[in-house]
Chains A and B, each alone.
Chain A
Amino acid sequence: MRRLDCHDRIKRVKGRLEAALQTVQALRDLGAQQPQYLYRYHLDLAVIRALDTELRDVYFVRMFACFESSLRHYWQAEVRDTRPPTEVLLSSIAVRCGVPQGILDAVQEIRDFRNHLIHEEHQVTRRFTMDDAMRQLNTYLARLPLKW
């Protein structure tokens, strides 16, 4: 696997989110101008508006999944054929690849935030936007070798 492709997969998730958000915006505009379309499909504008936030959450989880699957691939190819919990995986690879502690801390917080999005009862210390998270995940990933 090539590391640049891992960066690229994360970037593509963000691209797809932007396309999905634009689609929702188009539907919202259409619904405001021609509400009969919404009535026909039993939709209302409030539901469509809420999609915006939901999509951000869903794509955030997808982005983290992309990141995690790259790390798991690296782990199994270069370290050992096991499946450690994500928290352990992040810390172990960080030690191995010399990831700065500040970046590892941020990535652990992103993992925590991802858990919060999946299991809503879980409380978080810090919230992340897609852009913030993407910067941190890529910075971590950049410590891995170019190929493995």
Chain B
Amino acid sequence: MAREQFIDNLRFASRMLPPPQVRSDLGHSADEYLSSTLRTADLWLTPKSLEGFDRADFADLPKKELDELAGSVKAFLEIAQQVPANKPATKTQSKQARKHLERVISIVGPHLLREWIGAQQEMVKQATAAAKARGWYVERDEKEVLESLLGTYKAPRLRIRTPNKEVVIDPIARFGSGSQGVVDLVVMPTYETVYLVAFKDGHWNIVSPRGKPRTRPFNQSTLLTSIARLPRP
């Protein structure tokens, strides 16, 4: 859980890094003033941004990258701890801390994305095998997704046609609510989400989002049962 906590803190900090742009009805100079005030506040420059980091959680990274990650986290925290709570950071502190935070993001982001895409590829492979075993039509393509920390990426999307139904396994987000990755199972033609396929702690589950939440582990058999239970269009 500490790992997810750290990732969530980092994701939150990454959202605050780009210079804020204020647009109000008060005119250009007021907008500039407000933007600059927010920019110098460096809301991301706090130990909270990297709270929960544990080197062991990223042990699968190459050693060089892992060392660099741990070093950047340490350097960032040292600066963040020096910044008084009631005063803005100095320009040097802000510049250096930003550099370290950006490095952490550039290591953790792609690492998480590889994991997330890998997990989805595996789930889609299982779904494809299950559908093909039933003789159903399967078509795979990719969908573009934009998320904080991960940027824009392409995730696998699957369309399955049974003799009387059609569903789409539609990737939504690595960062869904409840610290889980979310892929929707949508039913055609209405494109309504009938199940969530949720990824948490390395496992996929099929979750019924309506009424009393029901969770079943995702496997070929539970996927086929879930599709079979859908009403005919």
Residues of chain A at the chain B interface (Cβ within 8 Å): 2, 4-5, 7-8, 10-11, 134-135, 138-139, 141-143
Contact = CB atoms under 8 A, between A and B. Distances in A.
A126 B192 CA distance: 22
Nearest to A143: B189
A65 B186 CA distance: 22
Interface of B: 141, 143, 157, 159, 168, 170, 186, 188-192
B141, B143, B188, B189: most-surrounded residue (chain A CB, <10 A)? B189
Contacts of A138: 189-192
Contacts of A141: 189, 191
A135 B191 CA distance: 7
A119 B159 CA distance: 39
Which 6 pairs of residues, A with B, have the shortest CB-CB distance? Answer: A142-B189, A138-B191, A7-B191, A135-B190, A139-B189, A138-B190
Contacts of A135: 190, 192
A2, A4, A138, A141: most-surrounded residue (chain B CB, <10 A)? A4
B189 A4 contact: no
A143 B192 CA distance: 16
A142 B192 contact: no
A7, A134, A135: most-surrounded residue (chain B CB, <10 A)? A7
B143, B157, B159, B188: most-surrounded residue (chain A CB, <10 A)? B188
A139 B168 CA distance: 14
Given A4-B157, A8-B170, A139 B190 contact: yes
B141 A142 contact: no
Nearest to A135: B190
A10 B191 contact: yes
Given A4-B141, A138-B192, A139-B190, 10 more contacts: A2-B141, A4-B143, A4-B159, A5-B143, A7-B168, A7-B191, A10-B191, A134-B190, A139-B189, A142-B190
A129 to B, nearest CB: 13
Contacts of A11: 186, 191
Contacts of A139: 189-190
B82 to A, nearest CB: 31
B189 A8 contact: no
Contacts of A5: 143
Contacts of B168: 4, 7
A36 to B, nearest CB: 20
Contact of A142 (B143, B157, B191): B191
Nearest to B145: A8
A135 B186 CA distance: 12
A134 B192 CA distance: 9
Contact of B188 (A8, A10, A142): A142
15 contacts: A4-B159, A4-B170, A5-B143, A10-B191, A11-B186, A11-B191, A135-B190, A138-B191, A138-B192, A139-B189, A139-B190, A141-B189, A141-B191, A142-B188, A142-B189
Nearest to A140: B189
